Amino acid sequence: MNRYTKISCLFLSLFLSAAAYGQRKKDVPLYKDAKQAVEDRVQDLLSRMTLEEKVMQLNQYTLGRNDNANNMADPVNDIPAEIGSLIYFSSDPGLRNKVQKKAMEQSRLGIPIIFGYDVIHGFRTVYPISLAQACSWNPVLVEQACAVAAQEARMSGVDWTFSPMIDVARDGRWGRVAEGYGEDPYTNAVFGVASVKGYQGNDLSDPARVAACLKHYIGYGASEAGRDYVYTEISDQTLWNTYMPPYLEGVKAGAATLMSSFNDISGTPGTANRYILRDVLKERWGHDGFVVSDWGAIEQLRPQGVAKDKKEAALKAFTAGVEMDMMNKSYDTHLGALVKEGKVSEDMLNDAVKRVLRVKFRLGLFDRPYTQVSKEKERFLLPKSLAIAERLAEESIVLLKNKNKTLPLSGVAKLAVIGPMANSKWHLLGSWRAQGNAEDATTVYEALKKDFQGKAQVMQAAGCDFDGNDRSGFEEAKKVGASSDAIIICLGEKAQWSGENASRSTIALPQIQEELLMELKKLGKPLILVLSSGRPLELNRLEPVCDAILTMWQPGIPGGKPVSGVISGRVNPSGKLSMTFPYSTGQIPIYYNHRQSARPHQGKYQDIPSTPLYDFGHGLSYTTFEYGELKASVLKARPDGKIAVEVPVKNTGDTDGMETVHWFISDPVSTISRPVKELKYFEKQLIKKGETKVFRFEIDVKRDFGFVSNQGKKYVEDGDYYVIVKDKKVKIEVGR
């Protein structure tokens, strides 16, 4: 081939490939071209959609638990190919793919379905409940655990989790305190952000990540008297300073979606609340993902008394800013008509559809709609995943009392493990266990046998059930206790006593459990109380008679291993409470960051103490830490200034240990009455025995000393502020 022929060939092939490219461009719509920008793809697809297709994108139905032909075939056939989303109750990628195929091949435009699910504290590798996670004060670990959940879920066909729940909650009667990170706004913000990062990573299209959902926007944790689904009374001040901060941080962290709440906020339901959904979330904060209603929350606007029928409920929720209807069948039935009647504008509809499509594009669903089929053992319970869950469970355990160093146990030849929780697997997983299998968990009894192998004989007896009046097991329990050198009594709550629709009127343990403990106390042996629950418990009768008390919350699959590690000394406990343990139920709501009162020295209860049994932040270690004085880089600062405050902490005990330093601020004199103290930062570090570590809080005056007005604006006043760590504080003067 001579030079000219070569050049002509080159031109010919360039021409042919350009033609082929042109051809492809003409045949393949822009929205299907992975190389195009997400916004262009969204716009292109939207321009091709009919009203009905748009409306269908805004609905979420459910897809059942298994692929059993009797039970699944119909539902798969019933699901419209144009549906926007499904709640996916299965862990089988094959089933997802079957349904997705229908959407891709039978809908006119081939729009993939987004599959959502409640992956709350793990998918198959269930790790501790969120309330416990916060007691670890280790957001890095929580991020890792959420990444494990994301990987297991996405590889099983789930693209989107309805998590994290970042509802500040101060009433332990409410079953859902288990699902959030406790009573403090900053704590909820930090752990909410950690989970968003763990779920989403840097790229939603990563086949091991899922989209997150901040819920329940907003104020659900303030449900009156701890009853579920009811009303809340929240002032603007409290809304902005207590309930909003975790959501603002979650949105800043890039959470793809939010879920509207069931409750009303001083009369306006979260699901019809234009101010918080449209004005604040979308306009002020610029969130460009979508909001899904809670399950049935749109049609519930009727019983809530703000809509006369489902159509009006659809209108109110949609115009307020709820883009996706979770199991109400209200948008699919009424939204089209509402648009045709001019009650919902085309612009608003288009904006809603764009938000849903945007998240789908970001998840890569248009380019990879199907989940790669893998074996369960390739995605579940991987050694690395189990190690993260176990470490998180270890760090979540809070040692509440340890009289005369009862723990760690040593020199015992016979150990009795008694109580309804002693050999339970099921209840250790807590509520919202996703695809968790109790058989994967180790009981406390099993774990202790292993840890004490060759050192002590471990004997077990239930003694009684979690509730009821059957005392027939007491005798055997007493016999086992009498023949031991120490008694570990494992009490607590059934898994179903917390979570959604699981309120209790008292946070005390059922009487039969308390009685069992009192009977065992009579044996005169060291008595160690191990608790498992989804909420703080009322322990005032039990506390004085126990030598040691620890709570393992609901630890998930690691089960009894971490707590057995603490009892045997394999693990040095480092958890601290993320929620106050009241002295008794009658103190509720009781939380550390209450406002200043008119007569702090008076106004006490006449019949019970007015202080909690265990404060927020309480938690013991097997070592001791000595805090030095706080040192500030400057004692005067401008409102836009920065200050660094340091505190040295020395491990003065005889074992290595992890310590969390909680940094609080207070503003004793302000235009409005502010909380007695507010957590603004925390840090956990390992400190070797004899070693001193310096902890440092970099203060941004406006961010950390400021307050949010009832219009949602952050401001800082001139005056004296205090930075507080334990009983030490330093005064900082702020002036212009």
Distance between CA atoms of 715 and 341, rounded to whole angstroms? Answer: 44
* DSSP single-letter state for residue 614: B
Q: Distance of alpha carbon 507 from its chain centroid, rounded?
A: 21
Minimum distance between the CB of residue 431 and ligand BGC, rounded to whole angstroms? 11
By C-alpha distance, which of 267, 271, 316, 262 is closest to 291?
271
| Cα dihedral 12, 15, 21, 26 sign | negative
b/e 708-725 (16+ beta carbons within 10 angstroms → b): beeebeeebbeeebbbbb
Distance between CA atoms of 560 and 539, rounded to whole angstroms? Answer: 21
184 touches 137 (CB < 8 A): no
CA 520 vs CA 441, 456, 474, 483, 488: distances in Å:
27, 20, 9, 12, 10
Burial of 307 per CB tally in 10 Å (0-12, 13-18, 19+):
buried
| Cα dihedral 15, 17, 20, 22 sign | negative
In the bound state, the residue with its beta carbon closest to ligand BGC is 162
Report strand pairing: 657-666 vs 678-687: antiparallel
* Nearer to ligand BGC among residue 324 and residue 723 (C-beta): 324
515 touches 503 (CB < 8 A): no
* DSSP single-letter state for residue 343: S
488 touches 415 (CB < 8 A): yes
CA 731 vs CA 645, 653, 667, 721, 734: distances in Å:
11, 30, 10, 6, 10
- Locate 89 and state its tokens: 């109750």
By C-alpha distance, which of 55, 117, 545 is closest to 314?
55
Number of helices and strands (H, E) in the chain?
Answer: 20, 27
Distance between CA atoms of 543 and 458, rounded to whole angstroms? Answer: 24
SS3 85: strand
Minimum distance between the CB of residue 582 and ligand BGC, rounded to whole angstroms? 25
How many Å is the Cα radius of gyration of the chain? Answer: 28
| Cα dihedral 124, 148, 137, 691 sign | positive
Identity (one letter) of the amino acid at 356? V
Per annotation, catalytic residue among 167, 184, 294, 325: 294
125 touches 148 (CB < 8 A): yes
* Nearer to ligand BGC among residue 118 and residue 440 (C-beta): 118
Residues within the interface to ligand BGC (CB under 6 A): 118, 162, 215, 294-295, 500
- Locate 607 and state its tokens: 């019949």
Active site annotation includes 203? no
So which residues are the catalytic ones? 294
